[in-house]
Structure 1
């Protein structure tokens, strides 16, 4: 398959660096835009490592980790299709505005740390965190930094680790941001990412890195000394708790260094002003809390085949709806681990007039009993609250159809679809019968219009969406009153 079969590549470059370029993509037949990361094959010395990067990033499911939708390979380059982030990388934002205000730095850093905490809970260390590897969902001139959504990208150095052990060995990263133990030649653990976060926060608040040098070796030598200076006048107006957070994240001894969880609970992160002030919380509205419980209950009783189809297109909602759902997810995620436990959902929806039951909670996810203790992840949350909306939206149908049309011939093989859904959702004979009946001309394939009718059949029990209204957070639905 070719990228050009599904997308029109814009001339607009929103990011550029050693990795290649980022450009806007227009999806053919859809109103949804995405971005394309183009990389010259010659710049990828280890293709196996690159394949691991793609696999690792696709396995992570969090609101602050950039999602991969597609992957194309040509003779000379590799193109990765990512979710749309029009604001470019934060490195460029720093160059435009200099140091960030303290509320801006807090907003960005809190999101980065949430993403890092989730990665570490999945036993993944990024190992190259830096402003260049954070994308902003919207342009700074359109959406203020304190209201922006951040997405972590570039998992080229990411590796899985053994929790509780120093199981990482490769020296890698970027000179100004890499932890000293990574370059020391021995084994190290995931807290190397926390050192990078401390340096990044220092850069956010001052506009400059805490140590410098003419060469990578000189930078490594000064950072290994671990001496942080807050003497520049720019630090005079910064809260002491922010400086303490930086020092705790940049402890030379990794064992004494903050974890991502402790960093999120530090006084500066926990108390600094943010866009999630109590007066602006989505889940403070009783009608939203009730709708969340009822939507989840309805979704849990859908067939496993329906759930599998919704999971395919869960990220196809309009951005305004995604933004409100993202905010609700983070409000419910009290411990910031990137998943929602039954207790967290019950706590957030207290007073809704109806409680979420154990069987509803277990019915939301498709991963099986072995993973039930992990809680509900971001995509599952989206699917459970917007399933009918997604199954009846033409853009969402197109996204699903393009995923299922493997050979790009404009049709989906019915038996192959049944097998694919069975592998995701287990046996579901009723759904298989519906799929077979959807093949109106009996040729064993579904064209796009037949597929749209199939999706609408699955989503016929009601529609609804998260949308802003008078309260900016009311959950509208035809099926919930």
Structure 2
């Protein structure tokens, strides 16, 4: 099937396959080649309806013969990844502020039936006011549940796989059906890494990392110092049974967040 600039008239539309939060899926056949495909129809208004202070806005999109362009809100301070490389680890006040902002953004996304699934330092951005930003890189799901085929394997094949495989929740490592609570697990992993400067489950071999994730093999070293309250939050997020992980609302009510997060969003 040749790749070209198609239009709806190029396809014979067949039966309805399914429907998600943002659009519908149909069986279709490309007229010239006869190739059978799944045609997913997204509604522009629904794709652009994520409007939250801590979520980067999608203003518009356009394309030319070879490329697709997204017009996004600009976060001038750049990625958390670069900031972490410079600072090595975050103070508890800074991190609590970031976590509170991220929890609010995720709660909003989950309410919209959007699971992020790709929370990592280079998808977390800062603007001039040091407010926390979340890029919405993952798609919508119906009823907030999904099946991510070959989750562990496909994630590790990405260029930046080092960030991915150590962030996967146990249910994703096991390639099980999962819901939005995978994002809560990732928050726990990031809290640990941002406070200690190293990830909680990293091993020399990625499959050893997977084994540590499945065992929830978390070790809190004595140095650098991390408060008992911060460790408590991490321990309540890194729980294998997703139904027992701390909810986003409970994260915001956790004593460590309440005591350390800066309401202004600065965290310094």
Output the CA distance in 2 between the equivalents of 1:95 and 1:55.
38
The SS at the match of 2:208 is helix
Output the CA distance in 2 between the equivalents of 1:96 and 1:72.
35
Aligned partner of 1:106 among 96, 107, 127: 96
Are the aligned partners of 1:56 and 1:158 in contact in 2 as well (CA < 8 Å)? no
Output the CA distance in 2 between the equivalents of 1:128 and 1:106.
20
- Report what 1:153 is aligned to: 135
Output the CA distance in 1 between the equivalents of 2:39 and 2:222.
45
- Report what 1:292 is aligned to: none
Are the aligned partners of 1:125 and 1:161 in contact in 2 as well (CA < 8 Å)? no
Query: When you count helix as a share of all residues, which structure comes out higher?
Result: 1
Output the CA distance in 2 between the equivalents of 1:108 and 1:74.
37
Instruction: Give the C-alpha shift of residue 269 in structure 1.
Output: 1.2
- Report what 2:245 is aligned to: 257
The SS at the match of 1:128 is coil
Q: Could you state the TM-score of these two structures normalised by the residue count of structure 1?
A: 0.42
Are the aligned partners of 2:58 and 2:73 in contact in 1 as well (CA < 8 Å)? yes
The SS at the match of 1:79 is strand
TM alignment of 1:149-298, pairs within 5 A = 149-155=131-137, 157-162=138-143, 167-171=145-149, 172=151, 174-234=164-224, 236=225, 238-276=226-264
Output the CA distance in 2 between the equivalents of 1:215 and 1:92.
25
TM alignment of 1:411-430, pairs within 5 A = none
Are the aligned partners of 1:129 and 1:193 in contact in 2 as well (CA < 8 Å)? yes
User: Which protein is bigger by CA-based radius of gyration?
Assistant: 1
- Report what 1:424 is aligned to: none
Instruction: Give the C-alpha shift of residue 57 in structure 1.
Output: 5.4
Aligned partner of 1:92 among 82, 86, 94: 82
Output the CA distance in 1 between the equivalents of 2:69 and 2:209.
33
Instruction: Give the C-alpha shift of residue 159 in structure 1.
Output: 2.9
Structure 2 vs 1, CA of residues 56 and 181 (structure 1 numbering), >3 Å: closer, same or farther? farther
Instruction: Give the C-alpha shift of residue 213 in structure 1.
Output: 2.8
TM alignment of 1:370-389, pairs within 5 A = none
Instruction: Give the C-alpha shift of residue 190 in structure 1.
Output: 1.1
Output the CA distance in 2 between the equivalents of 1:98 and 1:54.
41
Instruction: Give the C-alpha shift of residue 129 in structure 1.
Output: 1.0
Are the aligned partners of 1:169 and 1:188 in contact in 2 as well (CA < 8 Å)? yes
Instruction: Give the C-alpha shift of residue 48 in structure 1.
Output: 7.2
Q: Could you state the TM-score of these two structures normalised by the residue count of structure 2?
A: 0.73
The SS at the match of 1:212 is coil
Output the CA distance in 1 between the equivalents of 2:247 and 2:260.
19
Output the CA distance in 1 between the equivalents of 2:111 and 2:222.
37
Are the aligned partners of 1:123 and 1:162 in contact in 2 as well (CA < 8 Å)? yes
Output the CA distance in 2 between the equivalents of 1:201 and 1:53.
36
- Count of residue pairs the alignment pairs up: 217
Over 4 Å off, 4+ runs: 51-57
Instruction: Give the C-alpha shift of residue 55 in structure 1.
Output: 7.2
Structure 2 vs 1, CA of residues 162 and 96 (structure 1 numbering), >3 Å: closer, same or farther? same
Root mean square deviation, CA, Å: 2.6
